[in-house]
Amino acid sequence: MTEYGSRDPDALVRRAGKRADTRQDQHFLVDDRVLDRIPTYAEEMDLSHVLEIGGGPGALTDRLLAVADRVTVVERDPDFAAHLRQEFADAIATDRLTVVEGDALDVELPEFTASISNLPYGASSEIAFRLLPEGKPLVLMFQQEFAERMVAEPATDDYGRLSVTAGHYAEAEIVETVPKQAFDPQPRVTSALVRTTPREPDYSVPSDEFFLTFLKAVFTQRRKTMRNAVRNTAHISGLSDPDAVVDAAEEGLMSARAGKLTPADFAGLATLAYEVGEPDDDD
């Protein structure tokens, strides 16, 4: 039986026959200690089918095969996809590994029970918000600045649209900060692993699509009061009558800035906007 979980990252890069292309946002995690720890953050998760985005030379894929029943890895680079098929041919032959060649933002994702991935930083936001609505637990590598904004609490410097949006789908926590020296080639920034646990929010919204659009709108003017933010961003939120929203909302909320409001505050305002602001019927 093939053993997994101890392949040398540098040897995998050599066998792949090509170096990372930083123009394609490729930075390979090569620190064995970090690689070995990543699966431990998922010990409470259902690992019957793990989705990995961006397999690269396969160092994390190797660790995932050691703990998961099945792994599907999505790899955009055709050379690395071919390498993964060759390196892990035994796992493919026994239906434990599937390699999907293509962009994670475009391909049809399989049914999965958890995703554990070292994401390409340039697309990390888009990929994360494709995965979060699936309602599955995640362990994802991000730039530290992005991770800190993702987990930020209201009224803190890092709190913003990203914090509210992530929290709409899951509880998010930073489980490890990863130095740039853990990667080859080294990125210019420190990284962080974020673990998310799906949960229902403690508020209701008229629709996820409208709620997220409303957040996008008002946070474009986070330095303005909510009164001005609602009025000035109707072209983004799709509201036909933003003044009706301002007139119907509590004065305390309209006088505050977006960074001071809680997710429940935003949910209440989005519901009010949906009811009285005459939004476009696009969602």
Separation of alpha carbons 153 and 141, rounded Å: 20
Q: Which amino acid is at 156?
A: T
Residue located via tokens 């420190």: 190
Q: Establish whether 79 is an annotated binding residue.
A: no
The residues near 193 (Cβ < 8 Å, ≥ 6 apart) are: 38, 41, 139, 140, 141, 142, 147, 174, 175, 176, 178
Distance of CA 128 to the CA centre of its chain: 2
- 109 annotated as a binding-site residue: no
DSSP 131-165: HGGG---EEEEEEHHHHHHHSPPTTSTT-SHHHHH
The answer on whether 268 is annotated among ligand-binding residues is no
Distance, C-alpha 192 to centroid of its chain: 12
Instruction: Confirm or deny that 103 is annotated as ligand binding.
Output: yes
Is 118 annotated in a binding site? The answer is yes
228 is in an annotated binding site: no
Cα–Cα distance measured from residue 222 to residue 136, given in angstroms and rounded to the nearest whole number: 30
Task: Name the binding residues.
Answer: 27, 29, 54, 75, 103, 118
Task: Name the binding residues for S-adenosyl-L-methionine.
Answer: 27, 29, 54, 75, 103, 118
